[in-house]
Amino acid sequence: MSSRETVEETLDNTTIDPSVTWTTGNVAEAFPGVFTTLGFTFINAGVELATRTTFKNLGVLKGKQVYVPDQTEDMFWTLFAGRAAANIDQFREIANITPGTSATAIEQQLFGYVRPETVDANSARRYPVIAVKAPGAVLRLPKRHDAEFAELRRWRLAHLDGIDALDHAGCVELLEDARARFQRMLTKHMLVAFVSSGLADRVTDMLAGLDLAHLGPALLSGVGSDESEVAHDLWALAHDLITLREFTDRHGYHGNNEGQLNGVTWREDPTSVLNRLADYRAIPADSPRAPLNRSQEQIETRQRALAEVQAALPWGKRGTAAWTVRMAARWIALREQGKAGYLLTFDIARAVMRRQGALLVSAGVIDYAEDVFQLSYDEVCAGVTGDRRALVAERWAQYDQWCDYRLPQSWSGVPALSKVGEENVPVLGVSGVVTGVAASGGVVEGRARVVRDPSTTELDDGDILVCETTDPSWVSLFLVAAGVVTDYGGLLSHGPIVARELGIPCVCGTDNGSYQIRDGQRIRLDGDQGTVTVLG
C-alpha cells in the first residue's frame, strides 16, 4: 500500500520525510475542520489533479507531471490528524520556475506568511513554454469561469429535488458527475487564485513605490463578490422581499462546516439564518449598513483611492494603474466565485451521499444515514455490502478525538498537535497587542466575540468577530460585526475580502489571536495598522 493509499485509509500521516514542510495556511480556509473518510476520498485525487493541471495549463509543468503520486511527500496536499495541509516545498518548486514570482512571494500569496529560512532560487528553464501557454489560458479564463459557475447553479437546481428517489446506480452516476465537475471548477479556481494574487502584488508594489501602501485594502474593495449577493439576499429575506425557498435556491449550499461534505447546509437546516433575521430586519433600506449601500460605498472607496494614486503618477502611467486596479478587482471577484462554484458541487454530492446512506441503512450495512461519511468513495460506488457498523464506530471515535486538536500553522515532518483549550498561548491582559495583516481599513472598539461555531453564536451590534478562519457561511455574522480578526490568511483570504466588501475593519494572519484574546474583552481593532489592542 502506498503512503497516499494509507492516508486515504487512516486520514493521517504518522511517518513522513522530516525534511518536507507543510502548512495549514489557506488550505484550512478552503477545507476547514476534520475530514471524514468519504469526504476526503471524494476529493483527494481531484484536488491534486486540479493543482497540477493548473500549472500545466500555464506551461509551468509538463503533461506527464499531471498525475496523482503514490508518495505523500510528492503531493501538493495531504491530511494530518484528519486536517488538510499544503506542501510548501512543492509550491516553492513551482514558484522557482514561474516568471514574475518567487518562493517567498508564493508563500506570502498562498499562505499569508513567509518562513525565515525560505530562499528564492529562480530558474528560467520553463519561461519559453510559459510565454506561449500562459497568456491564452489567462485571457480565456474569466468568461469560461463565469459560464462554468452559471452552469453549476443550473445543474444543482435541476437535480436537487430528485435525489431522494435515486437508487444506488443513480446515486453513483450523479456522484461521479459531481466529482468531475468539482475537479473542473477547482482547476479554474486555482488559476484564478494564482493570477489574482499576482495582480494584487502588482497593486501592492505600485503603492509601495508611491509611498501609498495604506491604500492597498481600499483599492481591493468593492469588487462585487458572491458574498455580497448573499448579504443582500439575507437582508431581502428579512424584509420579505424574497421567500426562504428563493434564498436557499440561490445560497442554500452555504452553511456551517460547508467545506466538509458531512456539513449541514442552509438548504438542509436554515435555523441559523432564520435566527438572525431580526437583526437584519432592523436595518432599513436607506441605512448605510444595508448591504447594497455598503457595496456602493466600497465601490466609491476604491474609486477615491484610485484617484489619489493617479494624482501621484505621471499622466502617462495613469491608464496602466487604472487597468491594473480594474483587473485585480475582477479577478478577486472570480476568486470568491470559484469557491462558491465548487461548493455547489459539494451540495449535490452531500445530498446524494445522504441518500446513499439511507439506502445502506435499509440494507443493514450501517445504522444511520450519516454513517456513510465514514466509508470510502470507492466502496460506496462499488456497492458496499456486509456489516460495517464496527468500522464506522471506530472512525467516528477517531473523528471526534481529532476535532479536539489543531495543527500548527507550519511544520516539517510530523506535526505536534495541540489540544483545543490547552494551547500554550498566553492570554493578553490590558494593553496587550496582537499583530497581523492590515486587511481592511478603519478603527473600531467593541466587545470581542471569540467564535468557533458560527451557527451557535449571536453577535450584538458593535461586537468584533474573532475567529481562526471563515468561510462564506460566516457572512451572516459579518453583517452584524463591527470588525473581524482571524488567525489565518492574507490580504486575499475569504475573511478580508468580505470585510472589505462590507466596509468593516479586518486584521488577519494573527496566528493565535483567537486564543490570546478572551471572549468578552473590550478591544480596539486597527485595520489600517494591522493591530488589535486589549482595552479591558
Q: What is the pLDDT of residues 161-171, one digit of tens each?
A: 999 999 999 99
Question: Locate cell 505523500: which residue?
Answer: 72
442 Cβ contact partners less than 8 Å away, ≥ 6 residues apart:
483, 503, 504, 505, 527, 528
What is the three-class DSSP state of 465? strand
Alpha-carbon torsion (377, 380, 381, 387), positive or negative: positive
471 pLDDT tier (thresholds 50, 70, 90): confident
- Mind listing the pLDDT tens digit for each residue in 472-508? 788 888 888 999 999 888 888 888 999 999 999 999 9
Cell 470585510 sits at which residue?
499
Write out pLDDT tens, residues 304-332: 999 999 999 999 999 999 999 999 999 99
**Which of the 8 DSSP states describes residue 448?**
E
Q: Could you give the angle at which helices 127-160 and 168-209 cross, rounded to 10 degrees?
A: 130
pLDDT over 70 at 419, yes or no:
yes
Classify residue 5 by burial, with Cβ atoms within 10 Å: 0-12, 13-18, 19+: exposed
User: Residues 122-149: what's their mean pLDDT?
Assistant: 83
Look-up: residue for cell 446524494?
Answer: 352
Give the three-state DSSP class for 523: strand
Cα angle vertex 420, ends 448, 440, to 5°? 35
Neighbours of 403 (CB within 10 A): 14
Cell output for 69? 503520486
Give the span between the Cα atoms of 135 and 58, in whole angstroms: 8
Give pLDDT, residue 111: 56
Q: Who has greater pLDDT, 114 or 172?
A: 172
Set of cell numbers at residue 479: 453583517
Give the mean model confidence (pLDDT) for residues 105-125: 66
Q: Determine phi and psi for 298, rounding to 5 degrees.
A: -75, -30
Residues of the chain above pLDDT 90, percent: 72
- The closest alpha carbon to 309, from 459, 177, 202, 468, belongs to 202
Residue with C-alpha cell 429535488?
161
How many C-beta atoms surround the C-beta of residue 264 within 10 A?
Answer: 18
Which grid cell is 160?
A: 436537487
pLDDT band for position 108 (50/70/90)? low
User: At 533, which helix (H) or strand (E)?
Assistant: strand 531-534
CB 185 within 8 A of CB 338: yes
Residue that wins the pLDDT comparison between 276 and 240: 240
**What does 12-24 look like in DSSP terms, one character per residue?**
--SS--TT-EEE-
Closest C-alpha among 222, 107, 87 to residue 500: 222
Listed range (235-244, 344-353, 357-366, 445-454) with the worst mean pLDDT: 445-454
The mean pLDDT value for 232-251 works out to 96
Cα–Cα separations (whole angstroms), residue 236 to 149, 223, 247, 284, 510: 23, 21, 9, 11, 34
- Identify residue 471 by its one-letter amino acid code: D
pLDDT at 340 over 90: yes
Compute the mean pLDDT over every residue in the chain, rounded to the nearest whole number: 91
Candidate from 76-85, 92-101, 248-257 with smallest mean pLDDT: 92-101
Q: What average pLDDT score do residues 279-285 get?
A: 92
